[in-house]
């Protein structure tokens, strides 16, 4: 058929969350915003941000609060693609993963399913598209994977979906709140006599290092071997200090009891699906007024209040001037709210058996949070005044 623009597929409908009671979402806005009129749709080639329903096979591609821009087809995309285009020629950072292949994400030209490792911007450019080189605002609602290239034209659909890719509102000016997430290297003291330690933040395991900090001015790095599982741990051949460790989630297990004055240092892996303020304040520092670790200077609340913010390659917020932050100033931090364990009462429970969201409160989120602005009770929540009207 000459005019048919779609792709042949079997009509296998995705299961809806909450039995078609609406898409789970959360709200980052805490003040009035300026929302441009019009119909704005997520690009069909966006990578998967997080699985919304593992069994149903539906996936979010944009999450509330993320900084966005357009492509030249007027489709919404993460503003991080602006930085990837400008700064990473020849080696793009934003790439498709196995999750995108499993989700059936199509390339920008809509000719085939993406391949793991393909660069998002390269595919976009190959389709004759480009990014608008300025952030336009932040998306207000979560967006599921688009079923086709044009949500208003079913002939372009390459999959069925309970969410047909309806338009999503975005704001140009608003007051929002997002959790503060540390991305600097952490330094945590290890308990004397223990054989395990649960680290505070999710790390990239290859970045773990161990130090003897008896002399705080001249810490001595210790060499420990990472083994595949606790079953592979064996006592040291000689000596009375650990020589190897295993890692299960955030728990480190050692092959000998820990001596005094040891600490672990690591850089958290913070490729998070939800919007946040990522703070990098130097090696070994810990956020919080009055805290010190082995004579290190603490990063304090006063170091955040009043700072201007831009965005980074993950389309999250970052303090202007920090590594990886855009030069565009899109807002200012006006307030910090202390997190509380009581915030967890507002997080919905994820029901594993059917992959559905439940209405009642709970903390078993399985990594999928309905109120991500306060989920997991972060230590601090930043409140930011945003103004994209001033960004040219």
Instruction: Give per-residue pLDDT as tens, 318-363.
Output: 999 888 899 999 999 998 887 665 555 544 444 444 444 444 444 4
Mean pLDDT across the chain: 78
Please state, in angstroms and rounded to a whole number, the distance separating the CA atoms of residues 208 and 281: 18
Q: 2-34, pLDDT tens digit by residue?
A: 443 444 444 444 444 443 333 444 567 666 667
Indicate the pTM of the whole model.
0.75
Give the per-residue pLDDT at 230.
Answer: 93
| Greatest extent of the chain over all pairs of C-alpha atoms, in Å | 77
Tracing tokens 């793991």 back to the chain, one arrives at 116
- Could you say which DSSP state residue 334 is in? E
Cβ atoms 60, 48 nearer than 8 A: yes
Domain ranges of the chain: 25-172, 186-266, 276-390
Cβ atoms 204, 250 nearer than 8 A: no
For the record, the structure tokens of 364 come out as 């078993």
Q: 37-55, pLDDT tens digit by residue?
A: 777 889 999 999 877 665 5
- SS3 of 34-65: the string is ECCCCCCEECCCCCCCEEEECCCCEEEEECCC
Torsional sign, CA 264, 270, 272, 274: positive
Question: 57 or 72: which carries more pLDDT confidence?
Answer: 72
Give the per-residue pLDDT at 53.
Answer: 61
Give the per-residue pLDDT at 205.
Answer: 57
Q: 76-117, pLDDT tens digit by residue?
A: 999 999 999 999 888 899 999 998 998 889 999 999 999 999
Cβ atoms 289, 305 nearer than 8 A: no
Average confidence (pLDDT) over 186-191: 86
Please state, in angstroms and rounded to a whole number, the distance separating the CA atoms of residues 50 and 72: 25
Average confidence (pLDDT) over 160-187: 77
């Amino acid at each position: 058929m000459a005019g048919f623009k779609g792709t042949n597929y079997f009509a296998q409908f995705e299961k809806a969350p909450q039995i078609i009671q609406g898409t789970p979402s959360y709200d980052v806005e805490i003040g009035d915003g300026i929302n441009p009129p019009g119909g704005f749709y997520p690009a069909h080639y966006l990578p998967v941000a997080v699985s919304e329903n593992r069994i149903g096979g539906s996936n979010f591609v944009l999450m509330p609060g993320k900084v966005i821009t357009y492509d030249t087809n007027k489709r919404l995309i993460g503003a991080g693609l602006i930085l990837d285009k400008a700064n990473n020629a020849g080696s793009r950072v934003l790439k498709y993963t196995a999750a995108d292949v499993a989700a059936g994400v199509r390339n920008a030209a809509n000719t085939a399913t993406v391949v793991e490792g393909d660069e998002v911007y390269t595919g976009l450019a190959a389709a004759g598209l480009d990014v608008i080189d300025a952030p336009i605002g932040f998306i207000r609602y979560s967006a599921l994977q688009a079923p086709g290239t044009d949500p208003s034209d079913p002939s372009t659909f390459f999959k069925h979906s309970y969410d047909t890719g309806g338009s999503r509102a975005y704001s140009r000016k608003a007051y929002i709140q997002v959790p503060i997430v540390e991305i600097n290297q952490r330094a945590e003291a290890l308990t004397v006599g223990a054989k395990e330690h649960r680290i505070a933040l999710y790390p990239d395991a290859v970045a773990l290092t161990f130090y003897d900090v008896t002399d705080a001015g001249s810490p001595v790095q210790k060499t420990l071997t990472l083994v595949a599982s606790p079953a592979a741990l064996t006592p040291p051949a000689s000596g009375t200090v650990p020589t190897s460790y295993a890692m299960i989630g955030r728990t480190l297990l050692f092959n000998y009891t820990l001596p005094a004055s040891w600490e672990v240092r690591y850089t958290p892996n913070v490729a998070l699906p939800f919007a946040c303020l990522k703070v990098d304040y130097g090696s070994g520092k810990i956020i919080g007024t009055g805290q010190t670790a082995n004579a290190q200077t603490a990063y304090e609340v006063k170091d955040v209040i009043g700072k201007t913010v831009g965005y980074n390659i993950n389309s999250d917020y970052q303090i202007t001037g920090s590594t990886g932050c855009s030069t565009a100033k899109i807002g200012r931090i006006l307030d910090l709210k202390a997190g509380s364990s009581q915030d967890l009462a507002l997080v919905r429970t994820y029901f594993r058996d059917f992959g559905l969201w439940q209405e009642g409160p709970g903390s078993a989120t399985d990594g999928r949070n309905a109120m991500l602005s306060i989920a997991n009770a972060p230590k601090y929540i930043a409140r930011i005044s945003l103004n994209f009207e001033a960004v040219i």
